[in-house]
C-alpha cells in the first residue's frame, strides 16, 4: 500500500524530461511517492547470455544527506538466434 502526501508545491521537473525530479520544501517525516523511469538501453550490447546489472537509487534529503537507498536491477536480454531449416 502506497501512502503518499500531496506536496505544495508539486514535484519539480528540473531536467525537462517530463518526469518530476524532486520535491521542494518537504518537511521531515513526510511520506512522498515517486516513480523511476528507466531509459532504453543503447549502451550495452546483447550477448548470447542474459546480462544483469545492479544500480543503487539514493533518495537525497538536502542534496547531501542520504535518506534512503534501494537496489534496482536491469536485465539485458540475450540475442536469440532462430535457425530455420
Please write the tens of the pLDDT for every residue from 48-82. Answer: 999 999 999 998 888 888 988 999 999 999 999 89
Clarify whether residues 20 and 45 are in a common domain: no
pLDDT tens digits, one per residue of 1-24: 667 777 777 888 999 989 888 888
Distance CA 2, CA 12 (A): 20
Clarify whether residues 26 and 58 are in a common domain: no
Provide the terminal-to-terminal Cα distance of the chain, rounded to the nearest Å.
51
Q: How many folded domains does the chain comprise?
A: 2
32-68 burial, b at 16+ Cβ within 10 Å, e below that, comes to eeeeeeeeeeeeeeeeeeeeeeeeeeeeeeeeeeeee
Clarify whether residues 1 and 33 are in a common domain: yes
Clarify whether residues 25 and 61 are in a common domain: no
Which residue range is the domain that position 3 belongs to?
Answer: 1-37
Amino acid at each position: 500500500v502506497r501512502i503518499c502526501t500531496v506536496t505544495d508545491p508539486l514535484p519539480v521537473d528540473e531536467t525537462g524530461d517530463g518526469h518530476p525530479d524532486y520535491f521542494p520544501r518537504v518537511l521531515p517525516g513526510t511520506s512522498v511517492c515517486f516513480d523511476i523511469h528507466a531509459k532504453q538501453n543503447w549502451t550495452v550490447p546483447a550477448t548470447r547470455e542474459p546480462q544483469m546489472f545492479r544500480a543503487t537509487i539514493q533518495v537525497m534529503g538536502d542534496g547531501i544527506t542520504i535518506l534512503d537507498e534501494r537496489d534496482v536491477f536491469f536485465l539485458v536480454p540475450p540475442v536469440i538466434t532462430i535457425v530455420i531449416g
